[in-house]
Structure 1
Amino acid sequence: MASPNPYGKLNEADQERLVARRKTRRHITVIALSSIVLVAIIVAAAVGATQTRDNNNNNNNKYAGGLLRRDPLPDSCYTSLSPLVKSRHISPHELYKLSLQVSVDELSRAADGFFGSPTVKKVVVADNRTLAAVESCRKLFFLALDHLSDCASSAAGLHDLRTWLSAAGTCQQTCVDDLSAADAALGSLAEGHFRNCTEYTSNSLALVSAAEEALGGGGEWMTAGERRMLETPTGLMMFDAVVASNGSGNYTTIAAALKMVPVKSMKRFVVYVKKGIYFENVRIEKMMWNVTMVGDGKDTTIVSGRLNYVDGTPTFQSATFAVMGQGFMARDMGFINTAGPSKGQAVALMSTADRSVFHRCKMDAYQDTLYPHANRQFYRECDISGTVDFIFGNAAVVIQNCNIIPKLPMRGQTNTITAQGKKDPNQNTGISIQNCVIRPAANLTGVDTFLGRPWRNYSTTVFLQNQMEGFIDPRG
């Protein structure tokens, strides 16, 4: 997660040299040690399962016992990993890649079985809600597959691996959630098809989690250059595209400007969005890496939409502004969903992008306003307002120095600020809200307001050093 104060002034040249040296040492150490520890854990688990009668395997059994305590699905873990140790000449790197391949292969097989099943093929175009849920599930499947594929990268550190495995599991669960909301029988069918791959992903996550705790991991993921960009005045920035609704820029819509973003670019593509209200549903697709979007202010550059659950759009697809491409940054923009409280889930901003940052932005809706879905995210000096579960998801997210504003809900509803979605104890996810001001909207009276609710079995939310007024229910 982000450090508590990521915007402190830097001696930039010295800081970048120091960070480079630390990264090089840490990179070499983590690759070497993580390979050794992961192999020890995997071999111990598999051998412990197949040779439990051997009294000479005390050390292996000790490792296996430790792994079993970490893994919520020990039987599945043994079943999936036992084939990996049949070869005595396999290298540590090959062994770890094979363990991930079990998850990838099973996810691909399950997707082929589900999307190719007669039940799914019979979903007709006229059934808009169910059809939209199927398409949402398909998109989430590819996101999960991408995250598992990223985990096979030899350059990835343990914290990266744990983040991406957590995200893969979250994508699979969200697919089932969206389908279940549209059609309970179809949701059950998907859950059955995806059960094994969900378990195998959880097994890999348990291994990486144990290794990370043994070796350490984490650290800052924002670069000095990214911090500088968030502090640079708009007038001093260079832009790759300028969007203006009045025609004074290169493009009149944000969607048109995004067509110019290079695929998986390591260089930042900077878009300036001039003041105005943009009535469009924007999608930063997963191949659009390192996009930066800068507006004229959270109350003057506004993206507005009204997609919602009641009218047939799955929650994951309802966002006015959705981010899937890694490394996204936004500054001085507003994102709103105007569907209203009677329309149920209606997301203003959804991000499932790793290392996404939002600075001086506004997110305004009613139910499910801000959806930090998965991966690492950071929000600073933002205004976030809503009613039911208006900050929810399963990202590793820090919300810092923000205004959090519960609004008046529908009659009979109760306000809950957060609903965190951790389902696996080894996921490195949670909502951290630090140094924020939590205050009611001007018209909020006579309504119970809670800091949050446990959406899943391992929901994790922390409120730290915040200012709260007396309207928060003392029960939580």
Structure 2
Amino acid sequence: MDSIKSFKGYGKVDVLEEQSFKRKNRKRLIILSVSTVVLLAVIIGAVAGVLIHKRNNTSSSTPNSTPGTELTPAASLKAVCDVTQYPTSCFSSISALETSNTTDPEVIFKLSLQVAIHAAAKLPGLPAKIGRNIVNDTRLEKVLAVCEGLFEDVVDRLNDSLTSMDVNQGEKLLSAAKINDIKTWLSTTLTDQETCLDSLMDLNSTLVQEFKAAMQNSTEFSSNSLAIVAKILSLLTNLNVPVHRRLLGVGGSEMGFPSWVSPGDRRLLQDRNATVAQIVVAKDGTGDFKTIQEAVDAVPKKSENRIVIHVKQGVYYENVLMDKSKWNVMMFGDGKTKTVVSGNLSSAGGTPTFSTATFGTNS
């Protein structure tokens, strides 16, 4: 009997026990399913929260994504001035102007020129003011005269830059060709001011620091304008401001000349015989003048027409200065070994280095 009882568990399963077992399993499955659904809901909610948070942060950091985040005049001015070497003086000097309430980088550049002109206008009178206290110093007097001429040139070049901003109605202020001209003029203003200081330092003059302090604003403001115009196209692109870009191309050029060289000027440059000269220089008196400087002085100021000077064979011992008021001048000789200009000025002889060029121009 005991052996028979020991095999009872291998017989038929008790019905009540089977039902109880199924109920327990069903309850476990329900609990497991509910727990899984709750867990998934928590995970989905967490992920959604992170994505929404990131999207909100991205939207808030985009200037144009929501109303009220347009670029302000102050922000635009700061963006422009940040490209300069002296951003603080750039921002403070332009923001002080009553007309500085603008977001247009081109207009801001024009304001920077006005600031630079105002500062530079004080310089031409500086050498004469200081020179009143100088006695029996010929070399220093010559250097001060050079500085005065250079400062006048600074003002002229800044005014040229500002004048070039004047346009006809409907035309954009800047083009690529105009930008190149302005960059050249502004670079000249910095070179002129530095040349004055170099001339004073050549003499070991005690006036160097006084001049440097007096020139600081003009130098910084000119530098600011140069930096702005040098990078203005990229600024306009970054700030989504359209600009009219009329490139200085060589398309349609002839014989390698840029397109802006007129056909008449091309013929002059190609004319080996050069029979069109209006003024002739000859040492033997067979021309209109015996010296080159006399011929240059005879050229009308700011001539709109091309003036051609022919310098005949000979050695001309002179230092020729072409004044900035002499426009559209073309000069040629009879060959590099036949027409020779030779000067003998030097700083050792008491002439400032700036004025020692055998053939120079102050334009």
> TM-score scaled to structure 1, two decimals?
0.51
Match of 1:294 in 2: 332
- The structure where strand makes up a greater share of residues is 1
Please tell me whether residue 84 in structure 1 is matched to residue 97 in structure 2.
yes
Please tell me whether residue 145 in structure 1 is matched to residue 155 in structure 2.
yes
List aligned pairs for 1:8-407, cutoff 5 A: 56=69, 63=76, 66-84=79-97, 97-112=110-125, 114-117=126-129, 119-124=130-135, 126-153=136-163, 154=166, 157-213=178-234, 214=237, 219=248, 223-225=261-263, 226-234=265-273, 236-324=274-362, 353=363
Contact 2:320/2:358 (8 A) holds in 1: yes
**What is the Cα deviation at residue 292 of structure 1?**
0.6
**What is the Cα deviation at residue 93 of structure 1?**
8.1
- Higher RCO (CA 8 Å, separation ≥ 6 residues): 2
Identity of aligned residues (%): 34
**SS at 1:242 equivalent:** strand
**What is the Cα deviation at residue 183 of structure 1?**
3.5
Deviations 1:439-473, CA, capped at 9 Å, x for gaps: xxxxxxxxxxxxxxxxxxxxxxxxxxxxxxxxxxx
Q: Which amino acid aligns with 2:337?
A: D
- The structure where helix makes up a greater share of residues is 2
Measure, in 2, the Cα distance between the counterparts of 1:180 and 1:218.
41
Measure, in 2, the Cα distance between the counterparts of 1:168 and 1:182.
22
**SS at 2:321 equivalent:** strand
Deviations 1:46-97, CA, capped at 9 Å, x for gaps: xxxxxxxxx9566778755653542111111111111235565999987654
Contact 2:100/2:108 (8 A) holds in 1: no
**What is the Cα deviation at residue 259 of structure 1?**
2.5
**What is the Cα deviation at residue 98 of structure 1?**
3.9
Q: Which amino acid aligns with 1:313?
A: T
Contact 2:310/2:333 (8 A) holds in 1: yes
**What is the Cα deviation at residue 150 of structure 1?**
0.2
Measure, in 2, the Cα distance between the counterparts of 1:239 and 1:186.
46
Deviations 1:198-257, CA, capped at 9 Å, x for gaps: 1111111122122144556763666144333221112x5311111110112121111222
Measure, in 2, the Cα distance between the counterparts of 1:304 and 1:312.
18
Report how many residues are paired.
Answer: 267
Measure, in 2, the Cα distance between the counterparts of 1:304 and 1:132.
22
Measure, in 2, the Cα distance between the counterparts of 1:290 and 1:132.
29
Measure, in 2, the Cα distance between the counterparts of 1:56 and 1:152.
32
**What is the Cα deviation at residue 168 of structure 1?**
1.1
Contact 2:190/2:219 (8 A) holds in 1: yes
Contact 2:105/2:232 (8 A) holds in 1: no
**What is the Cα deviation at residue 149 of structure 1?**
0.6
**What is the Cα deviation at residue 101 of structure 1?**
1.9
Contact 1:158/1:212 (8 A) holds in 2: no
Measure, in 2, the Cα distance between the counterparts of 1:96 and 1:292.
34
Q: Which amino acid aligns with 1:99?
A: S
> TM-score scaled to structure 2, two decimals?
0.66
Measure, in 2, the Cα distance between the counterparts of 1:81 and 1:89.
11
Contact 2:109/2:229 (8 A) holds in 1: no
Contact 1:273/1:301 (8 A) holds in 2: yes
Structure 2 residues without counterparts, runs of 5 or longer: 1-67, 168-173, 238-242, 250-257
Contact 1:111/1:194 (8 A) holds in 2: no
CA RMSD of aligned residues (A): 2.9
**What is the Cα deviation at residue 294 of structure 1?**
1.0
